């Protein structure tokens, strides 16, 4: 009965903990920033701590992200972001971090979504299959014309392995969305997939 209760409460508890932690982290940072820029806006209490308005930091972060998304759709800002993008891509040291993060984020949410083709890939043995996502329809740049690039995420982690495999070792997963396939892999196969 204890394990059954743990199975029910753990996902709920961990989710609530993560959301509350994020909420508090954002709320704790904002008063310091505002006090640094505009000292008269936020008073200090008797203990010398800055007064907080619960939820303000979270609302401000959401507003900033929405504002940046809205502004970035204009032509002038798009050109400016493009120029900044080129500068960061050519800056030694920064280039590796910037391009890796940018490509990873675009693979999930940008115009260049990559994790939208769930497949079964055979890399270990004849009857052993892994769930992955085709991220490259060919591997010509590696002189492997009859191969595809497949990313296989790890369970319970944000990491994964990229394989370059012959096309005949890849089977599309039909009637399953990419998000359901990702949930299945990340959960270690315990998530129900329709």
Number of structural domains in the chain? 3
Domain boundary residue, one of 109, 133, 164: 109
Same domain (yes/no): 89, 129: no
Among 123, 125, 128, 146, which residue's Cα sits nearest to residue 136? 146
Are 8 and 60 part of one and the same domain? yes
Instruction: Please check whether residue 45 lies inside any domain of the structure.
Output: yes
- Burial pattern 175-188, b for ≥16 Cβ within 10 A else e, equals eeebebbbebbbee
Q: What is the pLDDT of residue 147?
A: 92
- Quickly count: other Cβ atoms within 10 Å of residue 42's Cβ: 18
The model's pLDDT over 126-163, given as tens digits with 9 standing for 90+, comes to 888 898 888 888 888 888 889 999 888 888 877 888 89
Domain containing 178 equals 118-186
Give tens-digit pLDDT for 96-112. Answer: 777 777 766 666 555 55
Does 35 share its domain with 91?
Answer: no
Looking at the structure, tell me whether residues 154 and 95 fall in a common domain. Answer: no
Q: 40 and 6, same structural domain?
A: yes
Residues 145, 171: one domain? yes
Answer yes or no: is 193 within a domain.
Answer: no
Q: Which residue stretches of the chain have pLDDT < 70?
A: 7-8, 11, 35, 48, 103-114, 194
Please indicate, yes or no, whether residues 122 and 182 belong to a single structural domain of this protein.
yes
159: in domain: yes
194 falls within a domain: no
- Are both 104 and 122 inside the same structural domain? no
Assigned domain for 191 exists: no
Which pLDDT score is estimated for 112? 58
């Amino acid at each position: 009965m204890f394990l059954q209760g743990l199975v029910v409460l753990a996902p709920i508890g961990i989710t609530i903990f993560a959301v509350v932690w994020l909420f508090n982290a954002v709320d704790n940072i904002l008063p310091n920033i505002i006090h640094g820029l505009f000292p008269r806006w936020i008073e200090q209490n008797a203990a010398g701590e800055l007064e907080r308005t619960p939820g303000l930091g979270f609302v401000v972060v959401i507003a900033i992200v929405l504002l940046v998304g809205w502004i970035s759709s204009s032509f002038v800002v798009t050109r400016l972001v493009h120029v900044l993008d080129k500068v960061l891509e050519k800056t030694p040291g920064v280039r590796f971090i910037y391009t890796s993060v940018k490509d990873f984020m675009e693979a999930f949410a940008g115009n260049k979504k990559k994790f939208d083709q769930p497949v079964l890939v055979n890399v270990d043995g004849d009857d052993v299959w892994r769930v992955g996502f085709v991220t490259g329809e060919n591997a010509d740049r590696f002189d492997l014309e009859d191969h595809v690039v497949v990313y296989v995420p790890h369970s319970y982690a944000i990491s994964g392995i990229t394989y370059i495999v012959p096309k005949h070792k890849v089977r599309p997963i039909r009637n399953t969305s990419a998000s359901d396939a990702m949930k299945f892999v990340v959960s270690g196969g315990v998530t129900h997939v329709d």
